[in-house]
Structure formats: C-alpha cells, structure tokens
Amino acid sequence: MAKRNDVLDFAVLGVLSSGPLHGYELRKRLADVLGTFRALSYGSLYPCLRRLQAGGLIEEVSLTPVSETSAPPLSGRRARIVYALTADGKEEFDRWANHPGPEAWEDEGFAAHLAFFGRTESRVRLRILEGRRSRLEERLATLRESLSRSGRRLDEYTLRLQEHGLDGVEREVRWLTELIDEERASDS
C-alpha cells in the first residue's frame, strides 16, 4: 500500500509539472486534483515541500512583486516563495506516472494516479485500471462472504451500512469496466 506521504509527494510533483506555484496556489490546485480523496492542510503540505526540496526534486524561486522592481522596497514585505520542479523532479514524476506498482490499485494511490492519467501512457493506464478492478473484485467477494455469514446476526443499521458499502464497490467495478472498455477501444 502506498504511504500517504508518497501520494502527496507525487501529487505535488504532478501539479508543479504544469509550472511553478506559491504555497497557497499549490494547495488550492492539489485540493482540486485530489478532491475528496484527501484533506490537505498546510501542516502536511509544507513538510512535503521540504522533503521534496531535500531530495532535489523541487526548488524555491523567489519572485519580487512587479511594483518593487524599479525601486527599493518601502515595506518589510517578503518576496513570495514559488516552488518549481527540477529536472530530477520531472523525471521522478514521469517514472511514477508511467511505471506504477500495486500501490496504484489501492484507494489513495489510485486516486492520485487517476488525477494524472492525462500524462500516463495508455498501456500503463490500462494496467492500473485492470489492477484496481481486480483489487475491488477481491474486496467485493470478501464483503459478500462477510455479509452472508453475519447478515442474520447484525442489527438493521449495521446490515444497511454493509449493504451500502457493497453497493459502492459494485458501482466502482462497473465504472472501471467502462473505463477499461473505452481505453481498449481507443488503442484499437
């Protein structure tokens, strides 16, 4: 299973691959990309940025506001720090996007990969989709077995909660099958 830090690291690299951003805008774009899959605080973003800097994958670039370029600054305002991808960071993101392992099939890893499918090779997209579907089919079998074994002993609300979970997994398997069929058709 992918570590939460790994998923955030690669999501940051993916967002920065479109161009340099300051922390606020980066957090906003990450929230757009990762959506409901991940709550993102500055308390997790800035340690991630430090990790990526230490690894040589991103760098800080100081930008001076336009109004301060012609004269010395009159106030004590700091220049805004902008984060940019390094060449090593671009390589690392491309490697991650196009050579995933089984962590790409798990919930959080899958969501991050899916968010960057536009930059992923078709054969890799197909492998991720098929792996995710396989993982969910295993989960579906386990849920069905558990429900049939314990269904009579559960109270009404717990039973409904388990049925709701089962419905959600079944829907995702159908959705993945559609995506796989579309991906295969586009390769033909």
Shared domain check, 31 and 17: yes
The separation between the first and the last C-alpha atoms of the chain, rounded to the nearest angstrom, is 32
If asked whether residues 148 and 100 sit together in one domain, one would say no
Same domain as 171, residue 86: no
pLDDT at 1: 37
How far apart, in whole angstroms, are the C-alpha atoms of residue 36 and residue 108?
A: 10
73 found inside a domain: no
30 domain residue, yes or no: yes
CATH number of the domain enclosing 83: 1.10.10.10
Give the residue with greater pLDDT, 16 vs 101.
Answer: 16
Q: Where are the beta strands (DSSP E) in the chain?
A: 21-22, 58-63, 80-85
Judgement on whether residues 112 and 169 belong to the same structural domain of the protein? no
Domain residues for 141? 122-187
Residue percentage of the chain with pLDDT more than 90:
56
72 in a structural domain: no
In a domain, 40, yes or no: yes
CA angle, corner 7, sides to 162 and 120, nearest 5? 100
Tell me which residue of 32, 24, 28 sits closest to 82, measured CA to CA. 24
Q: Are 81 and 60 in contact (CB under 8 A)?
A: yes
Q: What pLDDT, on the 0 to 100 scale, is given for residue 77?
A: 59
Give φ, ψ of 95 to 5 degrees: -65, -45
Residue-wise pLDDT tens digits, 44-55: 889 999 999 999
- Shared domain for 11 and 99, answered yes or no, is yes
Instruction: Report residue 2's pLDDT band, with 50, 70 and 90 as the boundaries.
Output: very low
* 35: alpha, beta or left? (left if phi > 0; alpha if psi -120 to 50): left
Q: Domain check: are 126 and 87 in the same one?
A: no
Alpha carbon 24 to its chain's center: 18
- Together in a domain, 148 and 177: yes
74 domain residue, yes or no: no
Res. 25: pLDDT tops 60: yes
Q: Are residues 15 and 106 in the same domain?
A: yes
Measure the CA–CA gap between 8 and 109, rounded to whole angstroms: 9
C-alpha 115/C-alpha 14 separation (Å) is 9
Do 93 and 50 have their domain in common?
yes
Q: Are 45 and 107 found together in one domain?
A: yes
Residue 84: pLDDT band (50, 70, 90) is very high
Q: How far is CA 76 from the centre of its chain?
A: 37
Q: Residue 72: pLDDT above 70?
A: no
Is residue 3 predicted with pLDDT exceeding 80? no
Binned at pLDDT 50, 70 and 90, residue 34 comes out as confident
Share of the chain above pLDDT 70, in %: 86
Find the radius of gyration of the CA atoms of the chain.
21
Which of these, 70, 77, 132, 74, lies nearest to 107 by C-alpha position? Answer: 132
Reduced to 3 states, what is the DSSP secondary structure of residue 105? Answer: helix
Residues 143 and 92 in one domain: no
35: in domain: yes
Distance CA 149, CA 159 (A): 12
Asked if the model's pLDDT at residue 13 lies above 50, the reply is: yes
pLDDT at 78 over 70: no
Domains held by the chain: number: 2
In angstroms, the CA 26 to CA 16 distance is 8
Same domain flag for 113 and 168 = no
pLDDT tens profile 91-140: 999 999 998 888 899 888 898 899 999 999 999 999 999 999 999 999 99
Which pLDDT does position 37 carry in this prediction? 55
Residue 39, domain member (yes or no):
yes
In a domain, 56, yes or no: yes
- Quick check: 164 pLDDT over 60? yes
